[in-house]
Amino acid sequence: MSENTEPQTAEVLTEVQGNVLVITLNRPEAKNAATQNMAQTMARILDDFDANDDLFVAVITGAGKTFCAGMDLKGFLRGERPSIDGRGFLSLTEAPPKKPLIAAVEGYALAGGFETMLACDLVVAADTAKFGTPEVKRGLVAAAGGVTVLPQRTHRAIAMEMALTGNMYDAEFGQKHGFVNTVVEDGSALDGALELAQTIAANGPLAVKVSKQVIVESQDWTNDEVWQKQAPLIADVFESEDAKEGSRAFAEKRAPQWTGR
């Protein structure tokens, strides 16, 4: 059963489906362009998500068949920024949640919207989706991840092309160059993302969380540090109640009952 936890008039909506939180950017009339209010709302939503032991995975999508067209430029001209100090664009790009986050992309994911997508761990995109960092066309720089995170997600030459031309690219291009995981039919990105989320949510939440942590943090580790820094994180998982439950469930041929401990 779904549970709505945000007023339907809000610029960001949330819905719980089992152990999965669905976050919907909800300014379809403006192609979900991000506002300061949306960033403040997202900060609370993401904090609550990480703190809620009953939620294992989150999916972020956009209303009206558009993911997010970037920053609300009218708000920018009024001196507003859709970001929070230390957290980044939509309170996400500099401080992603500790749990897995999946982007379900229909339509446009441009500028800050594209960088919001890059802050997610996995991306499911409709075959009609369009991606780009058009900031240079407006005299700006893709500073929310377009010139820093994108080179880590794809080849340097591709990141350079996207950042310097400001052109748009399709979902096939995104999958070919590593920043899109799965391409699905138009209109089915959220369904595809939810299917992926449920697959992840069926696994041990502590093991999933630590797996993400090691993948993210090890990018900054030297070869000599990898095993030493991984060891205490992995040890906590192997000593957990969930590890014992996983083994028991396998032996008893039943679905495990995870506690996250």
Residue 244 sits at the vertex; the CA angle it makes with 243 and 250, to the nearest 5 degrees, is 90
φ/ψ region of 143 (left if φ > 0, alpha if ψ in -120 to 50, else beta) reads alpha
Match domain 2-201 to its CATH number in 2.30.290.10, 3.30.420.40, 3.90.226.10, 3.40.30.10: 3.90.226.10
Is CATH 1.10.12 what the domain over 205-251 is classified as, yes or no? Answer: yes
pLDDT in tens, 210-248: 999 999 999 899 999 999 999 999 999 999 999 999 999
The domain limits of the chain are 2-201, 205-251
pLDDT confidence of residue 4: 52
- The reply to whether the predicted model has a pTM over 0.85 is yes
- Does residue 225 have an active-site annotation? no
- Does residue 135 have an active-site annotation? yes
**From 15, 106, 115, 245, active-site residue:** 115
**From 6, 80, 135, 241, active-site residue:** 135
pLDDT in tens, 81-132: 899 999 999 999 999 999 999 999 999 999 999 999 999 999 999 999 999 9
